A = this chain, B = another copy of it.
Amino acid sequence: MNASERRQEIIELLNMNSTVLVCDLSKKYDVSEVTIRTDLRLLEKQGVLTRFHGGATKIIDNDDIKSFKELQLEERYQRFIEAKKRIALEAVKQVKEGDIIILDSGSTTMLIAEELVKLKHITVITNSLTSAFILSDNSDIMLLICGGTLRHKTRSFHGKIAEQSLDGISADILFVGADGIDAQRGITTFNEGYTISSVMANVAKKVVAVLDSSKFGRNGINIVLPLNKLDVIITDTSVDSKYKQEFEKQGINLIAV
C-alpha cells in the first residue's frame, strides 16, 4: 500500500461513511497518526474534505444546478412563478412511492419536476427535455423519455414517434399543463399539434391539470383535452370562485393553493 492508494481509499471511505477519524485510519493502514494528518491536510487543500479535531468530513457541493437556474430566468417562466411553485408543491402531494408518473411539457410541469427529483422509487415518463434533465440528477428515479423530434420553442418532444413510445404504458397519474381552460372547450393551448397530451391521458389512471389562475376563461386555439378527461385541477387562490362550482359540478376536484 502506497501513499496515493491510501489517499484514494480515504476518499472512498468518506463517500461511504461521511466522517473518518485519524486514530482509526492510523490503525487501519498501520502508519503513524502524523502521516494520516498530512494525508488529510493534503486532501483538504484539494477540496475533497474538511478537517475537524480528530478526523475529517466530506464536502458536499451541488453547483451543477446553476445551468437550470439560467433556464428559469426566461421571462415566460418567471411570470406567476410564485403561484406556479405553490401549485407544483400541491401537485406532488398526489404522488406516492412506487407511482408511475407522466409529466407533460410546460413551465408549471417543469417546477413539478424540481419537486419530484427530491423523491425516490418513482418512475417518471416525460416528453420534456428540460424536465428529463432535472430528473436525471436523481438515480433513485426511473426515467423514461418519449423519443421523437424536438420542438424547440418548448424543448419537448412531439409527433408520431413520441406518441408511439407511450404504447403499452400504463401510468398512475398524469400532470398536464395548458395555456387556457374553459368550461366548454376544456384545456387548450396556443401551440399546434399537442395531440400527445390526449395519448398521455388515455394511458393514465388519474389526470391532474396544473395551471395558474390567469389561464381561466382564456381560450387557446387548439384543444388539448376535453374536461371529461380531467380528474383534478390544481391552481392558485386568485381563481374566481365561480369556476370552482362550475368544474365541481362536472365531477372535477378543483384545488386552489
Contacts and interface: CB of A to CB of B under 8 A. Distances in A.
Number of copies of this kind of chain in the complex: 2
A186 interface: no
B161 A147 contact: yes
- Counting contact residues on chain A (CB < 8 A from B), the size range is 35 or more
Interface stretch (A48-56, A94-102, A192-200, A227-235): A48-56
A147 B150 contact: no
A52 B3 contact: yes
A2 interface: yes
A34 to B, nearest CB: 18
Contacts of A30: none
Interface string A217-233: 00000000000000000
A145 B143 contact: no
A3 to B, nearest CB: 6
Main DSSP-derived SS at the A contact region: mixed
A63 B70 CA distance: 11
Contacts of A146: 147
Interface in A94-131: 129
A146 B148 CA distance: 7
Nearest to A123: B149
B47 A73 contact: yes
A146 B149 CA distance: 9
